[in-house]
Amino acid sequence: MLQILRQLTPDEMRQVELECGARPGSDPVEILRCLSRLCGATTWGIFPAASDDALLDHAGQRLGMPPLIRGPRAVSQRERAVLTVYLRQAWQMADPERQRRVLDLALEAWDNPMLPCPERMAEDGSSPDLALTLEMFLQQPAGCRALATATARAPLPLPLPHAGPAGGLRLPLGGRSPAGQQALYPVLLILWRARARLLRERRTQRLQLERQLRQLQSLLEARHRDLRATPVSWSLNPASGLSITAAATTSLALHTALAPVPGALIPAAVAGAAGLAWSVAALALRPRPATNKRLSRLSAQVHATRIQFAQVERDIFALETE
């Protein structure tokens, strides 16, 4: 919750401030304090809680959920559980036409191609089919994102406690007063719409990074081919020294076989040693791909792009599964 609050656009943040009564320009922690004050979530029973886990734990317990058990994804799961309860409460008070409209918009907003989209309702719009489709949406994060997006065009207001004819629906409070749930519910909807927006942005960014990575790798391979095809000066070619060494070795072999005079072998031995030294020096001084500035720059860009791509993949996975 806090992480998504930090990624809201200015317009989304203004909506959140309006819903929870925070002053303009409030930071995410102040937003949480305002929501905690309305919901009655406190630290030490005195100060409004400034953390999302304390706020959601309090709201969940007021809705009949067990205390929050800390874990890597406990807060996000509790946030979705609270939202689903609020959506069911708002759904029960909506007329069938509004219910069908919300589900139609949610089907259009479905954003996870890896999961099957809930089947459309029966043409007669019977209530059991509508309710079953709603439950299919509420069982997965993609459905919650789709419903939150749909309520932007077809609002599902949360009814007040004791709303309904003849002592009808009696709702558990998400706080110590109706203001708590009436503020927390629209803020959660805004956060889940923001998740849908962030997921679209990350997927677009992933496509751009994939294209950029392919281009950089093509340039890198072309640069490697150019370097391999560039002719090397004879003085920096190890084969030049090896040819001298080979000639000296042949000369030594001939002198040894025909006329083994020790003094005649010295020049050939010196030439052979000089050829070997030449080869070693040529290998040491020969330009390497790692010393090429353009190649090093391209390699660094490829590495940085791969790191960025991996981070985007992690963000997409987190947004899809939380």
Last residue of a domain, one of 172, 200, 228: 200
Q: What is the pLDDT of residue 125?
A: 47
What is the distance in angstroms between the CA of the first residue and the CA of the last residue of the chain? 11
| Full domain range(s) for residue 225 | 208-321
Q: Are 270 and 194 members of one domain?
A: no
Residue 255 pLDDT > 80: no
pLDDT at 228: 67
Q: What is the DSSP letter of 41?
A: -
Q: Which of 120-129, 227-236, 292-301 has the highest mean pLDDT?
A: 292-301
**CA 174, 183, 131 angle in degrees (round to 5)?**
65
Q: Name 42's bridge partners.
A: 48
- Same domain? For 136 and 49 the reply is yes
* pLDDT of residue 232 exceeding 60: no
Q: Are 22 and 98 part of one and the same domain?
A: yes
Same domain for 88 and 151: yes
Give the pair of three-digit tokens for residue 213. Answer: 């990575």
Same-domain status, 16 and 144: yes
CB atoms within 10 A of CB 67: 8
What pLDDT, on the 0 to 100 scale, is given for residue 174?
41
Q: Does one domain contain both 127 and 237?
A: no
175-200 per-residue burial string, b: 16 or more CB within 10 A, e: under 16? beebbbbbbbbbbbbbbbbbbbbbbe
Which residue stretches of 117-177 are H helix?
127-138, 141-150
Same domain, yes or no: 63 and 104: yes
Say yes or no: 147 and 36 in one domain. Answer: yes
Give mean pLDDT, residues 125-136: 74
pLDDT at 78 over 80: yes
Q: What is the mean pLDDT of the chain?
A: 81
Average pLDDT over residues 119-130: 57
Are 229 and 308 a contacting pair, CB within 8 Å?
A: no
What's the domain count of the chain?
2
Domain boundary among 158, 183, 200: 200
Q: Based on the domain organization, do 25 and 134 belong to the same domain?
A: yes
275 and 189 housed in the same domain: no
CA distance 248 to 277: 13
Asked if pLDDT for residue 245 goes beyond 60, the answer is yes
> Do 60 and 104 share a domain, yes or no?
yes
Count the neighbouring beta carbons within 10 Å of the beta carbon of residue 314.
Answer: 11
Cβ(197)–Cβ(303) below 8 Å: no
Asked whether residue 139 falls in the same domain as residue 157, the answer is: yes
Domain end marker among 177, 200, 223: 200
- Identify the band that residue 32 occupies on the pLDDT scale cut at 50, 70 and 90: very high
